[in-house]
A = this chain, B = another copy of it.
Amino acid sequence: MTSKELAKKIGVSQSTVSRALNDSPLISDDIKNYVREEAAKAGFVLNSQARSLKIHKTGTIGILFPVFFESLSKNLMFTYIYDLVQRELIKNNFDVMMVYDYGQPSEIGVLERILKSHKVDGFISLRPTLEERELTLICNNKYPFVSLYLAPEHNEIPNFFGVDEKDLGICAGRFFGKNSEPTASNVFLSITLRSDSSRKRLEGFHKGLEENGKHVDSFLECDFTMESAYNTVIAKKDLFLSKRNSLFVYNDMLSLGAIQALKTLGVAIPEETQIIGVDDIPMASWVYPKLSTVRIPVKEMVSEGCLTLMEMIDGKKFPPTVNLYDSILVLRDTTRNQNC
């Protein structure tokens, strides 16, 4: 059924139907209510395509998801943030399109195609990497765009709401600086140092330790998966079996892998090895032992990022900004001295 058909059926013009359903002040309340009731009775809903074509709005927002996972469940932080974002957008009556380029061959990228075909009103990105071409596209088109969580590497992205990487490391470094025995090794287990993010966390970790006269003793590299963290720890078992350690891990998922490994090795947590992760994924507080971690305030990031995006879609102009959020060390069961 179309608005024209409905109009005919209930004895008004198509314009009136349109005005009633769009809550226009140009028609009387009586007619408005009448039309709305009849529309509801007939189960009528306006055609979204035709509407979008006219008003140049789709009511849909695209969420750019990282491409480097085998599965959504590989890094729960992204899944968690995705969920928060989605919830926030839906609450504000937007639909959500997942923009996830699995790398199928195509001349034009998914982002570019969706942007240029006007399938969405704007994008919110969880991707720590953006290609130069994509960035140019976004900036040139002045397309509503907001980036969350991890700063895209190598380029300055406008409207970023995310984490202060170095600060994360400092939080962990300070804790171990004050709360581990002088003889314990300070170890950083992380993804490759070619990543800005990893490098900055290491830098911060070092700084935090240094404030207390300590330093980073070892760096252990793994991939971005729990299994890889597990394997890396197992491979370095001598390190963990020979002495006490203070282990700062790039994130919680990798920490879970490390914990599995230490359990396998029979290393007591936190008595022999203390562990601090990053993120505070929901799971962190319901695994055993509960994970001590540097919590990233994603809820705030998400709500402010979404708000900004929606305002941009409404036509409001924003000077490009970078918003960094402070993190908080949350002490649970993988660290000792829980009252410092």
Contact = CB atoms under 8 A, between A and B. Distances in A.
A28 interface: no
Q: Main SS of the interface on chain A?
A: helix
A220 interface: no
Interface in A79-125: 79-80, 82-83, 86-87, 90-91, 95-102, 104, 107-108, 110, 112-114, 116-119
A260 interface: yes
Contacts of A108: 45
Given A230-B286, A283-B73, A113 B80 contact: no
Contact of A116 (B45, B49, B101): B45
A86 B102 CA distance: 9
A264 interface: yes
A96 B110 CA distance: 12
Nearest to A87: B102
Interface stretch (A52-60, A160-168, A179-187): A52-60
A245 to B, nearest CB: 19
Chain multiplicity (copies):
2
B100 A97 contact: no
Nearest to A290: B260
A282 interface: yes
B288 A263 contact: yes
B90 A45 contact: no
A340 interface: no
Contact of A48 (B74, B90, B118, B260): B118
Contact of A83 (B58, B71, B87, B101): B71
A95 to B, nearest CB: 6
B118 A91 contact: no
The 7 closest A-B pairs by CB, nearest first: A45-B116, A48-B117, A260-B288, A49-B52, A72-B83, A49-B53, A73-B76
Interface of A: 40, 43-53, 58, 60, 70-74, 76, 79-80, 82-83, 86-87, 90-91, 95-102, 104, 107-108, 110, 112-114, 116-119, 226-227, 230, 257, 260, 263-264, 281-283, 286-288
Given A47-B117, A96-B98, A260-B287, 16 more contacts: A45-B108, A49-B53, A49-B118, A60-B97, A72-B72, A72-B80, A72-B83, A73-B73, A90-B101, A95-B97, A95-B99, A97-B97, A97-B98, A226-B286, A260-B288, A264-B288
